[in-house]
Amino acid sequence: MNQPVPLPSTQAPARIGQGTAVEQSRAAAEVQAAVVVAQQCPRNIQAAVAEMRESCKQQGLAERAFFRYSRGGSTVTGASVHLARELARVWGNVQYGLVEMRRDDEYGQSEMQAFAWDVQTNSRNSSTFIVPHRRDTKQGVKQLTDMRDIYENNANNGARRVREAIFAILPPWFVEEAKELCNQTLRDGGGKPLAQRIADAIKTFEGIGITADRIEARLDRPSAKWTEHDVAQLIVIYKSIQRGEVTAEEEFPAPRVSADELTGGKTPKPAATPTE
């Protein structure tokens, strides 16, 4: 007769530290206080919209408001976690975060939870997911063992879930207006003339080894014909390269050199066949 296989124990730890106990009590009290404050001081939607519009006019926020990365041979773009956090702040009565629920060093993974909660309306969105302690590199998959590398890997993977959780509880019209205003701020360029912004963009990219001709090839037109939209797109690309979301080579591939260019357009003569 087969004996039933015992399941692993799911009991809580028999002992927790004093700091953990204090933090648990503090977190519970904080949640209760947040609900009370939200009911006593409900958000002023008109004030929140006005503050959102003012924030999205700032060049610093607009330049961080969008991300882009390559996946499956195509480019994915969208609103960033930086914009999500700012919108949660101005909307008010919103709590969000990322929690490492469990770390399993034996299997090399962390169980994470990202959440966002509108404590005034009790609208909540959360997702639980597994983050492997691995990182893709050009040399292949690298296993992470350093504590700082694991923390940064968890934070980077979790940021995307936090962003989606925040956007899930905010009104769509609020988010869409913010995105459009940030795009407009990028196109305006802080009031600088377009010619100066083009020159600044070329100089900025030269600092990371991208020449003007590679940018022109990417946009399929010379710099003299770049538009405000082109410069705004370049700002988003540059910020994404800085954050490591894409590489310069992915966005601005080096031009291929043809055989004619290597030989100067001349066909090499075949070597003479020795005679006997």
Q: What is the dihedral of CA 159, 164, 168, 170, to 10 degrees?
A: 60
Same domain, 196 and 245: yes
- Structural domain of 74: 37-178
Q: Has residue 184 been placed in a domain?
A: no
Same domain, 197 and 131: no
Q: Which of 149, 178, 207 is the last residue of a domain?
A: 178
**Cα 154 versus chain centre, distance:** 13
Q: Has residue 275 been placed in a domain?
A: no
Tens digits of residue pLDDT in 75-91: 778 899 999 999 999 99
Choice among 21-30, 43-52, 104-113, 250-259 with the minimum mean pLDDT: 21-30
Tens digits of residue pLDDT in 135-191: 877 778 888 888 898 888 898 889 999 999 999 999 999 999 999 999 999 888 878
Same domain, 136 and 164: yes
Same domain, 230 and 124: no
Percentage of residues of the chain with pLDDT beyond 70:
78
Same domain, 231 and 167: no
Same domain, 144 and 246: no
Q: Has residue 23 been placed in a domain?
A: no
- Separation CA 205–CA 211 (nearest Å): 7
- Which of 67, 116, 91, 9 lies closest to 243, judged by CA? 67
- Separation CA 187–CA 104 (nearest Å): 46
Instruction: Give the total number of structural domains in the chain.
Output: 2
Per the confidence metrics, is the pTM higher than 0.85? Answer: no
